[in-house]
Amino acid sequence: MRGLLTLHELKEDKIQEIINYALKLKGGFSKKYVGKKMATLFFENSTRTQYSFQVAMMNLGIQVVGFNASVSSVQKGETLYDTVRTFESLGLDGVAIRSSEDNYFEKLKNIKMPIFNGGDGASNHPTQCLLDLMTIYEEYGHFKGLKVCMIGDISHSRVAHGNIDIMQRLGMEVYISGPEEYNDGSAKYMDFDEAIKTCDVIMMLRVQFERHKEKMHMTEAEYFAKYGLDNKRVAAMKDTAIIMHPAPVNRNIEIGDDVVECSKSRIYKQMTNGVYVRMAVISMVLDGDL
Ligand code: CP
C-alpha cells in the first residue's frame, strides 16, 4: 500500500529525512502539486489532524475535496472500503483517514491511491509522532540519550503506542507514568515526580474519557493532584526541559490552565509543526520517496 500507515515500517534514517524535509518546508515552500486532489476522510472527531492535513494539502497547491461522514452514504451502511474505493474512482490522488478501528487500513489493501493514516483506534498516529519528533529535534538538535516520560492515559493512547517504539529506535530513553489503571506496561514505569526532575521531555497525555469502558477510579480533582502538571511541578523541571501534549487538552485534569502556554510548553509549536510534517509526508509520497 502507498502512503503512510504506521512508523514501524520506516527506518530511522527515513524518519530523520522526513523531519529534515519538514524543517526545510518551514523555511519556505511552493505550491508544487497544483492540479492534484485529495480528501480527509475522518470517521472520528478531530480538530488538529484533519485541518492540519487540509492546510498542508492547500499549502502544496492540492485541491481539498470536502467530506463529512455524518451526511455521506456511510449513514446508509457504506463500508470503509467502499467509501475509499469511491474516492479513488473519482480520481483523487490521496486521502487522509482517521478511524476508531485499530489497523483499519488492513481492509484497504486493494486501494492503489496513497493513504495517510490520521489515527487508528489506540494503535497508530504516525504524523502526530513525526510532529512530536520534529518538535524535540528542533529543541535539542538530536535524539540520542534524551529522556522522555509520557504521563497519563497510556493504555488508550495511540500517540504513546506510536511514539514509544520510534523514540527507543532513535536512541531516546522512554518512560511512562500515571495511574496504575492506565499502565499497560508498554515502557518502563517512572514515578511522576522523579520524571519531572530528571526528564528532558515531559509529554502529558489526554485522559481519553470517550474510550473508557469503565469510569476512572478517581475524581478529576484527585487525578490533577496526583498526575496533573501544575505550576509547582513545572518549577521542579530541569531548566532546559520542555512540556508537550498532543492535544486537545483537558484543562485542570492532566494539565493546569496556566501551564498550557507557559514558557516551557511547546504545545502550539507541535500543532504548527504538524502542518510541515504532513506537507513533507505528502510530498515524499507523491514524489515516490516514501
Ligand atoms: N492530536 C490530535 O490528534 O488532535 P485531534 O484529535 O484534534 O486531531
Residue 211: the pLDDT is 87
| Domain spans, the chain | 3-125+271-286, 127-269
What is the Cα–Cα distance from 90 to 63, expressed in whole angstroms?
13
pTM comes to 0.97
pLDDT at residue 13 tops 90: yes
Spacing, Cα 159 to ligand 1 middle (Å) = 10
Nearest Cα residue to atom 6 of ligand 1: 46
Average pLDDT, the chain: 97
Average pLDDT over residues 15-39: 98
Which of 150, 158, 135, 137 has the alpha carbon at shortest distance from 272? 135
Spacing, Cα 248 to ligand 1 middle (Å) = 6
Ligand 1 surroundings by CB, under 6 angstroms: 46-49, 119, 128, 246-248
Which of 230, 279, 266 has the alpha carbon at shortest distance from 251? 230
Neighbours of 188 (CB within 10 A): 11
Spacing, Cα 249 to ligand 1 middle (Å) = 10
Q: Which CATH class is domain 127-269?
A: alpha beta
CATH assignment of 3-125+271-286, among 3.30.2130.10, 3.30.300.20, 1.20.1260.10, 3.40.50.1370? 3.40.50.1370
What is the Cα–Cα distance from 177 to 169, expressed in whole angstroms?
20
Spacing, Cα 234 to ligand 1 middle (Å) = 24
Question: Same CATH topology for 3-125+271-286 and 127-269?
Answer: yes
Spacing, Cα 186 to ligand 1 middle (Å) = 22
Q: In the chain, pLDDT over 90 holds for what percent of residues?
A: 98
Average pLDDT over residues 38-51: 98
pLDDT band with cut points at 50, 70 and 90 for residue 144 = very high
For 92-114, the pLDDT digits (tens) are: 999 999 999 999 999 999 999 99
Nearest Cα residue to atom 4 of ligand 1: 48
* Atom number in ligand 1 closest to CA 247: 1
